[in-house]
Amino acid sequence: MAPLPPDVSYVDSVTPEFQADRALAAKYSRQGPRYTSYPTAPQFREDFPKDQYYSWLRESEDRKSAPLSLYVHIPFCNDICYYCGCNKVVTRDQQATRDYLRHLEMEVISQARSVGGSRPVTQMHWGGGTPNFLDSGEITELMHMLASHFHLLDRGYREYSIEVDPRVTKPDTIALLKGLGFNRISLGIQDFDRLVQKAINRIQPYQQVAPLVECIRRNDFRSLSFDLIYGLPHQDRHTMDETLRRVVDLKPDRIACYNYAHLPERFSSQRAIDRLSLPDPEEKLLLQYMIGRRLQEAGYRHIGMDHYVLPGDELAIAQQEGRLQRNFQGYSLNMAEDLLGLGVSAISQLGDFYIQNARDLDCYYALIDQGKSAAFRGCKISREDKMRRYIIMGLICELRLDITEFNRRFGIDFHARFHREIGTMRAMEADGLLHATAEELQVTEHGRPFLRNICMVFDAYLEARPDAPLLKSYSRTI
């Protein structure tokens, strides 16, 4: 991507390359998954084969020494952010956490017994909600709880991360998190424009964020991540230009730029957003284009979908070495085959099973109080799912599929098995989105904005009709 001349603003950078993307956007814009898993969450069912899952747990003793990844969901927030589609509980009652930690401990004890508490936890992530809704004592209590029942690592290579809300994070909290073993931290920035922040009910000025960034650096975290969202109310090329300037000045190690999914029929808080204040599709595509151009010119590498990292970051190295993975927390290093989710709505990926805990807090509490598993829905992954997951995750993590390796791994002929999908790929190749040879599929730079569309070609669960009910549960790809 050629840099702009020094006298040209990003605001005015509508190049022929963008004009070509704009024409393709009209062709490919449709609703589709983000592929944090395959099969995707809408395929999880309450009547999944639980008996097979529990039988597998009892019989999988050989896995109980293998590395494990933990995800802990803290659902509470002080205030509601109108754009948010996460599973959260908005409350100012600090006592709400006491009930939650009590039930979480009961789940932790049960899961450590079933999944294997002696397994080295190479990765851990706390998400939400707002994990630092917990006060310092509760954060310490939760970490001690996990360390008492799982083998947390206190040295050597590990990836322990936490999401924090800049509005409620103090310097002593940052020091505590580092002292407890977290080495990666993520800040939800979304946008620095005051009008945009007001429209989404999330006021956090640059003057509040910058000192927090400095504090994180003083405490020597391995990496700092920012989450940004484009497509929010009142965003345009001018506000995004200023937000990106400030982000580049702060220079986080990783930046995730998500496409805002306006689904007010699914998320009631989004009904507070005036749809007429949202950028139109052409402006939204330009925002995406500006983000990629500005960050890459600032030295960031674009990995996979939505994510940018500095060249020396471990995610960039992992992508080069084929160790990059994508799961429910986005992109991370592939350090453990099994992911155990703890807490309300948390999702696990264990063996051939995806398992999701009850999404409703009262239901989660009731199951735990009855001495039952919090698992509420899930699915068992078939051989067909594994083949298609391998293809989709290869494209979304490495931007390529090694067809020779696929054939060796699964013992089939890719071209014979997926001849219909290859036909669809030919049309995408004609549009410049990818290169296809007998040996590999390679996503082009021009195809990056359409990566979700490319992956959708191999999704067996999507119906052919663009108005299919399943598709309506997803956000638009462009």
**Which domains, and CATH codes, for the chain?**
41-342 (3.80.30.20), 383-473 (1.10.10.920)
Is the pLDDT at 386 greater than 80? The verdict is yes
For the segment 120-124, the average pLDDT, to the nearest whole number, is: 95
- Whole-number Å distance between alpha carbons of 141 and 155: 20
The pLDDT of residue 13: 52
- Whole-number Å distance between alpha carbons of 174 and 192: 22
Is the pLDDT at 17 greater than 80? The verdict is no
pTM listed for this prediction: 0.91
Residue with tokens 């004009």: 19
The pLDDT of residue 286: 86
Give percent of the chain with pLDDT exceeding 70: 94
Provide the β-strand partners of residue 230: 259
For the segment 94-122, the average pLDDT, to the nearest whole number, is: 95
Is the pLDDT at 7 greater than 50? The verdict is no
Name the residue type at position 438.
A
The pLDDT of residue 4: 41
201-211: pLDDT as tens digits: 999 999 999 99
